[in-house]
Structure 1
Amino acid sequence: MSILTLDLGQQTGWAILEGGVIESGSKSFHVSRFSGGGMQFLNFSNWLNSLRQKFSNISVVYFEEVRRHLGTDAAHIYGGFLAHLTAWCESHSLPYQGVAVKTIKRFITGNGNASKSAVIAAIKNKGFTPSDDNEADSLALLFYAMNLNNNINNLSSLEAY
């Protein structure tokens, strides 16, 4: 099973587990003031396609489900990226699931209100060196998803009595 996790935004964090190897990064979708209004979404969709070409065995996608944004622009960008992501998943018959920010933070740090620096520190304690908080968030979500899928796999291997 290959798992892709995303922290959606103009600076999108991503992580993937494929073949027992974890790769991650942070991708910028900032555009110039001269770009058309849809360019960042087009760039995001093209990037998703390039991920699919590089990691052809993606079997599930998890994304950070943000329920509160600090500004209108952030909310619009997140909503647009989410729309493009879910349409992309549907077009590739990939299951997808949002996970609340507090759930991810509680899982990785033990505190649902943990700071960005606490999440980064927790990821560093696992041997990773994220380039920014977006990559750290996507890695935290990947560890959450791995734990969730491991528990599901363990449950499915139980015999019914």
Structure 2
Amino acid sequence: MADQTMTNPNQNAVRNVLPAFSGQRTLLALDLGTTTGWALHGADGLITSGTVSFKPSRYDGGGIRYLRFTNWLTEIDRLSGPIGAIYFEEVRRHVGTDAAHVFGGLLAVLTSWGELRGVPYQGVPVGTIKRHATGKGNANKDAMIAAARARGFSPADDNEADAIAILLWAMETQGGVQ
């Protein structure tokens, strides 16, 4: 099996090398946002998923959501890890400015967290995820939820369904390694 060089989606600098998928590795898939969908393939082979909210309260400072995200990643790594690789939905276009800012901040935390710990990360284009899950690169939220349910999962919302789809893509395509 070949190795894949992982790069930051916004730079051409070479990052960690991601070996092909094996059942003994912990993989984390994320749909980044204020409500972040997550799916985890543990080293024990079990898949768990859910959502976590990083919405600050009215009394929180502007950076608190990013500190909470950092702490959440560290806790997932401690409880289920060590995390072998992280895959995330690589969004190139946001409808709103606030959503773009939140995504950019969470992505900055994720990539710096991974760099500090030597955990490779890879963005997966939205169309690739949707096409793998549903056969259509422009599938809507309901189709993504239906696709996850058809695979035996019970996502609470589209964020969790997207994270499940990212994880399944990573496992079934070996993270893009051919």
Flag structure 1 segments of 5+ consecutive residues without an equivalent: 156-161
Report the Cα offset of residue 23 of structure 1: 0.6
Report the Cα offset of residue 29 of structure 1: 0.5
Partner of 1:159 in structure 2? none
Partner of 1:123 in structure 2? 148
Structure 1 CA distance for aligned equivalents of residues 174 and 28 of structure 2: 13
Partner of 2:28 in structure 1? 4
Report the Cα offset of residue 151 of structure 1: 7.7
Partner of 1:89 in structure 2? 114
1:135-150 alignment, distance < 5 Å: 135-149=160-174
Structure 2 CA distance for aligned equivalents of residues 150 and 126 of structure 1: 19
Partner of 2:103 in structure 1? 78
Change (3 A) 1:82 1:151: closer
1:13-28 alignment, distance < 5 Å: 13-18=37-42, 19-28=44-53
Structure 1 CA distance for aligned equivalents of residues 124 and 165 of structure 2: 11
| RMSD, matched Cα | 1.2
Of 87, 99, 111, the residue aligned with 2:136 is: 111
Structure with higher helix content: 1
Indicate the SS of the match to 1:149: coil
Change (3 A) 1:38 1:112: same
Q: Among the aligned pairs, what percent are the same residue?
A: 53
Does residue 32 (structure 1) correspond to residue 64 (structure 2)? The answer is no
Report the Cα offset of residue 57 of structure 1: 2.7
TM-score by length of 2: 0.83
**Matched length:** 153
TM-score by length of 1: 0.92
Report the Cα offset of residue 53 of structure 1: 0.7
Of 84, 92, 95, the residue aligned with 1:67 is: 92
Structure 1 CA distance for aligned equivalents of residues 94 and 116 of structure 2: 28
Structure 2 CA distance for aligned equivalents of residues 151 and 43 of structure 1: 30
Residues 29 and 167 in structure 2, CA contact (< 8 A), matched pair in contact too: yes
Higher Rg of the two aligned structures: 1
